[in-house]
Amino acid sequence: MSAAATVLGPEAVRTLQRRTTAVLIVSQILGGLGVPMGIALAPVLATEVSGTEALSGLAPTASVAGTALLSIPLAALMTSRGRRPGLVLAYLIGALGAGLVVLAAVIGNFPLLLLGMAGFGAASSANLQARFAAADLAPPDRRARAISTVVWATTIGAVLGPNIAAPAGRGFAGTSIPQTAGPFLWAAGIFLITGLVVAVLLRPDPLLTARALAPPESQSAEGRSLRAGITAVKASPHARLALVTVAATHTVMVSIMVMTPVDLGHHGAGLELVGLVISGHIAGMYAFSPVMGWLSDRIGRLAVIGLAVGLLSFAALLAGTAGPSHAQTAAGLFVLGLGWSAGLVSGSALLTDSVPQQARAAVQGLSDLTMNTAAGIGGAAAGLIVSQAGYGWLNAIGACLLLPMATLALLAARRPPTSPVKAEFNSDLKTDQD
């Protein structure tokens, strides 16, 4: 038993977990307010600055690429120094990126806009990594619920963000800042405040505490490298399934979502309506995540992964056949958010369950790199697909991307059960780690 374990008893660990969760909830509300502004307006702003709709998908893609590229260095920083320094740095980079987006819009420089969106993506990386921070001190049978609670906290800011984008933009009327760029200036300020909250209040660091509480044999620094993380994933079928789940889920969601504002514009929707549709989508992503977490802990990770496949496929059908029906498009985007929530929560919990404690930070960084790289490619292709074939084909292709995820989940489900249903994966995952 480690020295920390003798100082922190079970009740003290639970108290620390509650405090950590509360701080993460505050940061997610604030971060969730800033990030969706960019999500809602990036394709429109890219079209304005570049002068062509064919490049509209590159702005959100640059954001996703920035999130992906920063995942590994941020994970490395967290591995060596803890969650707090990594989250603070990510929000600072996000604020800098938002400022560059505003400057690019003012001077009409498209490459600078893409650079700014890449930096803006660091804030998304912080929001994603926060879900793993919530799981650091959570017991295994409540790990999915811990993740989902922090994901849920994003709902408040995420739903408000797109809806205040238009008023935030109008606040810069009469200045040299375009209305579609004004919200990014607000986002920069929000990210700075969020970073300050994390820097001051996320103490003691949850990852470092969890590591100190772990058995001495699992505290070797050699097991914390990216190479060790890759080895851990290769050794666990469940970890591989988890990686595919979060990557496919995120790619389908991003690819469809980033082009929906453009499709709505084709059918006469204004900025306010676009904001409402994106708000409904984000509500689906976050508001029901506690349900997904409860289901994942209660009936198992694979069952919720199967639910994610079904929801995402249905969403692609609704959105892809909506045409001029704004209500059907909104319904499709809401279901798309539900499917993303199911896949992200269950996949993240499965990934954390499936690898040794000392390798988790590296594996979690690898997960975010994989999911955001895939989503970045999907987002870049989405603009070209819509411009050449249409929004309906984009949704059809998105549904096809779910096939590997569904196949691996079915193969895993055919393994003979070794325990009651609700404990099925706990025993299987213990075997993986052994």
* CB count in 10 Å sphere of residue 24: 27
The sign of the torsion formed by the CA atoms of 310, 312, 313, 317 equals positive
DSSP sequence for 73-131: HHHHHHHHH-HHHHHHHHHHHHHHHHHHHHHHHHHT-HHHHHHHHHHHHHHHHHHHHHH
Burial environment of residue 251 by CB neighbours within 10 A (0 to 12, 13 to 18, 19 or more): buried
Interval 4-37: pLDDT, tens: 444 567 788 888 989 999 999 999 888 878 887 7
The whole-number pLDDT of residue 69 equals: 84
Q: What is the total residue count of the chain?
A: 434
Token pair, residue 314, equals 């249905």
For residue 5, the model assigns a pLDDT of 43
SS3 call for 406:
helix
Q: What's the number of domains the chain is made of?
A: 1
Q: What is the reported pLDDT for 224? A: 64
Give how far Cα 362 sits from Cα of 68, 100, 167, 353, Å: 14, 30, 41, 14
Please say whether the beta carbons of 376 and 124 come within 8 A.
no
Nearest to 346, CA basis, from 419, 238, 206: 238
Give 153 or 400, the one with higher predicted confidence: 400
Structure tokens at 121: 């993506």
| Mean pLDDT of the 235-244 span | 91
Q: How far apart are CA 119 and CA 342, in angstroms?
A: 28
Q: Is 419 helix (H, G, I), strand (E, B) or coil?
A: coil
How many Cα atoms are found within 13 Å in the side-chain-facing hemisphere of 306?
Answer: 11
Q: What is the DSSP string of 220-258?
A: -GGGGSHHHHHHHHHH-HHHHHHHHHHHHHHHHHHHHHH
CATH code for the domain of 372: 1.20.1250.20
Tokens 């991307």 belong to 401
Range of the domain at 300: 3-433
State the sign of the Cα–Cα–Cα–Cα dihedral 79, 341, 259, 158. negative
- What the block records as the tokens of 257 is 């979502």
| pLDDT band, very low/low/confident/very high, at 46 (cuts 50, 70, 90) | confident
pLDDT in tens, 329-359: 999 999 999 999 999 999 999 998 888 877 8
The dihedral formed by the CA atoms of 399, 401, 405 and 408, expressed in degrees to the nearest 10: 110
Could you tell me the CA-to-CA distances from 75 to 41, 79, 293, 362 in Å, in that order? Answer: 29, 6, 24, 6
pTM exceeding 0.85: no
Confidence at 205, pLDDT banded by 50, 70, 90: very high
Give strand ranges (E) for 286-343: none
State the average pLDDT over residues 194-210.
Answer: 93
Identify the sign of the CA torsion 347, 350, 352, 354.
Answer: negative
Q: How far apart are CA 338 and CA 414, in angstroms?
A: 26
Q: Residue 260 pLDDT > 80, yes or no?
A: yes
DSSP letter (8 states) at residue 416: P
Q: What is the pLDDT of residues 124-145, one digit of tens each?
A: 889 888 888 988 888 888 889 9
pLDDT exceeds cutoff 60 at 219: no
Q: Residue written as tokens 């996703």? A: 64
Q: To 5 degrees, how large is the angle CA 33–CA 60–CA 336?
A: 70
pLDDT of residue 94: 95
Percent above pLDDT 70 for the chain: 87
Q: Write down the pLDDT at residue 8.
A: 65
CA distances from 158 to 16, 82, 144, 281 (A): 27, 26, 21, 10
pLDDT band at 166, cuts 50/70/90? low
Please check the confidence at residue 421 and state whether its pLDDT lies above 50.
no
Give the Cα separation of 377 and 288 in Å (integer): 28
- pLDDT of 422: 38
Q: Residue 407: CB partners within 8 Å, gap ≥ 6?
A: none
Question: What is the average pLDDT across 217-229?
Answer: 64
